[in-house]
Amino acid sequence: MSGYILAIDQGTTSTRAIVFDASFRVVGVAQEEFGQILPQSGWVEHDPEEIWRTVLATVKRALADASLSAADIAGLGITNQRETTIIWERGTGRPIHNAIVWQDRRTAERCRQLVRDGAEATVMDKTGLVIDSYFSGTKIAWILDNVDGARARAEEGKLAFGTVDTFLLWRLTGGRTHLTDATNAARTMLFDTAANAWDEELLRLVDVPAALLPDIRDCAADFGETDPALFGGAIRICGMAGDQHAAVLGNACFRPGMMKSTYGTGCFAVLNTGTERVRSGNRLLSTLAYRLDGQSTYALEGSIFIAGAAVQWLRDGLKIVQRASDTGLMAERVDDRQDVYLVPAFTGLGAPWWDADARGAIFGLTRDTGPDDFARAALEAVCYQTADLLHAMRRDWPAASDTVLRVDGGMVASDWTMQRLADLLDAPVDRPTVLETTALGAAWLAGRHCGVWPDMDGFAERWNLDRRFEPSMRQDLRNRKLAGWEDAVRRVLSDRS
């Protein structure tokens, strides 16, 4: 059987399709951005049909780029932006509303009401999650309550819910398959991670009919095959994981204590805790890292809503940079005595703050402040937020005290940013040779399940380091910068005194 594996990496701002060969090398790739719909402050939507069009287009182009056909592909893995919520008609496959994106805050008041009603302990105990509009559950309920007739149709079994993976799987298989994997299910606020099942009490709590929900599989499993008409032949679908979980796998973080952080639209740091479900005392998430062969591996996760999106804002909103890649050179020109802080709470603050009402701010402006300072502040904001997460993880799980951080995502190509990250963390940062680790993780799931790629040990042995960034910043400078960041965050928190 061919060792070629196709991965669909459906992200928040773009869709990529990547073909890997048996040596994990990229031999074909295509990427396409799609629109962000912002109906009002704090609301973020996507057009599911536009997402679907980008998937079709990028898969076809990636196959052409690799000079391969569907018959050459041993298996397909899917990875996706998590928590983004889509509901569609079972009969037609048509979405009944735009996708509500993970960043969206429209259900923040509903979440506050759940907390006031005393539901937080139940949700945390069963799901490992805090109650927040970030997760899918309250998004599902909002669509049902705001689209005419939707709740009645859902209760009659005429509608289907899915995160993006499930929607794509439905479309790819011609409506024959309504499935998700355990990692995506774990991000809905409806899934008991200990019982490995949808939970009736949580469904009642959030007011979501069970008839909407997909069945759940391991991350490596038989998910069906693509409609032959789509790509000129059927392709077996046998891997699926949410993007951050796929990045854990792509970075070969298989051992407890290993940690990865992905820098895309947002930033997500995940620490493997093995078979132990660590209950966070610092408002981190206790989630699934992955589930293979019926065995769950758990993790602590810290979620940052805005990372690369801050650089996008500089480019598209303020128009003070022409290309995102320019920001590293701009940041390098700034004197370290200049302390400009950007707190990018454009859609609230994630872990460890979980403040849906916080909003972004810039501090430390002077007459000398210019575009270079803004660029550095945007990049440093990602590093400061990662430091917040790492410090919280170390408090929750002391075994993480000597962790080396493995990184991936678009931002890690910047040497300046990675060096500043190591400096502010006071910890080594490892950048792999293959930066497309999210897609690689999805591909590994498919390749493993198809029997054409190696198991965990074999895959981990072939993980290659591009560069290690060692901390070199003076301790007094690090302390000053971190203190300034903490002060800036306190100023934007909605519940500050």
What residue numbers does the annotated binding site cover? 12-14, 16, 82-83, 134, 243-244, 265, 308, 312, 410
Which residues of 378-426 form beta strands (DSSP E)? 405-408
Tell me whether the omega of the peptide bond preceding residue 428 falls within 30 degrees of 0, making it cis.
Answer: no
Provide the annotated binding site for sn-glycerol 3-phosphate.
12, 82-83, 134, 243
Q: Quick one: tokens of 206? A: 């959030």
Question: Taking the alpha carbons of 488, 427, 284, 434 in that order, is the dihedral positive or negative?
Answer: positive
Q: Quick one: tokens of 383? A: 């590093």
Half-sphere exposure in the Cβ direction for 31 (13 Å, CA): 9
Q: Using CB atoms within 10 Å of the CB of residue 394, give its burial: 0 to 12 exposed, 13 to 18 middle, 19+ buried.
A: middle
- Amino acid identity, position 292: L
Provide the annotated binding site for ADP.
12, 16, 265, 308, 410
CA angle, 433 then 439 then 444, to 5°:
90
Provide the annotated binding site for glycerol.
82-83, 134, 243-244
Q: How far is CA 85 from CA 12, 167, 226, 282, 318, in A?
A: 12, 9, 22, 27, 29
Helix (H, G, I), strand (E, B) or coil at 305: coil
Helix (H, G, I), strand (E, B) or coil at 392: helix
DSSP state of 295: E
Element (H, E) at 212: none
The span from the CA of 49 to the CA of 55, in Å, is 10
Provide the annotated binding site for ATP.
12-14, 265, 308, 312, 410
**In the sheet that 295-304 helps form, which strands lie side by side, from edge to edge?**
285-292, 295-304, 267-274, 259-263, 405-408, 429-432, 465-469
The span from the CA of 81 to the CA of 102, in Å, is 8
